[in-house]
Structures are given as C-alpha cells and as structure tokens.
Amino acid sequence: PPGTAALVVTLADNSATLRLAVGQQFLVDLGSTVDWSVTIADQGIVRRVPGLLVIRGAQGIYAALAPGTTILSAIGSPVCTSGACPQFRIAFSITIVVG
C-alpha cells in the first residue's frame, strides 16, 4: 500500500547504525508527542520520498539513493497549544550506511 515501508525507525533506534541497500526505503516514526524536525546530512545518499502520506505521528518515508554514509538527525520540540510552553527538546540521530 502507498505510504508504507518494511523497515521502521523509532525512538528506540536512537544512536543506532542503519545499513541499507540502494533503493531500500524506511519509515521514520518518532511519534507525535513532540513536533519533530528531521534533517539528513547528505541528501544525495538518503532523501525523503515526497508526496507520500504516512501514518499519524510518522515523519516520512526515506529512500537510500546512493552508496555512502550519512546522518539522520531530528529535534523534537514541545507542541504548545497554550501560552505556557515547556522549555525542552529531544535529540535523535542515527547513522545510515548505504552499500
């Protein structure tokens, strides 16, 4: 089905190394308790697949494009619906090796 990937990266994978083949896809699902901003250090190696709807709380499906090593990092900021906002952030990162 559209918007699915066999491999799922979650908060439990923080600081892990993910090994992929070129063309392989994975879902980043860090949850919806905070607002996540995801960054890929080298988008020539791994890039988000545009235009795919993903499950609620997921940050997107990403594809391995070329051999190499890059870092996927994410910063989670609190979702503020009122005037008072907690001052914390959550850091997440994985190393991705595409072979």
pLDDT at res. 98: 97
pLDDT at res. 28: 96
10-60 confidence digits (pLDDT tens): 999 999 999 999 999 999 999 998 999 999 999 999 999 999 888 888 999
pLDDT confidence bin for 5, thresholds 50/70/90: low
For 63-91, what is the mean pLDDT? Answer: 89
Q: Is residue 84 packed enough to be buried (19+ CB in 10 Å), middle (13-18) or exposed (0-12)?
A: exposed
pLDDT at res. 80: 79
pLDDT at res. 79: 81
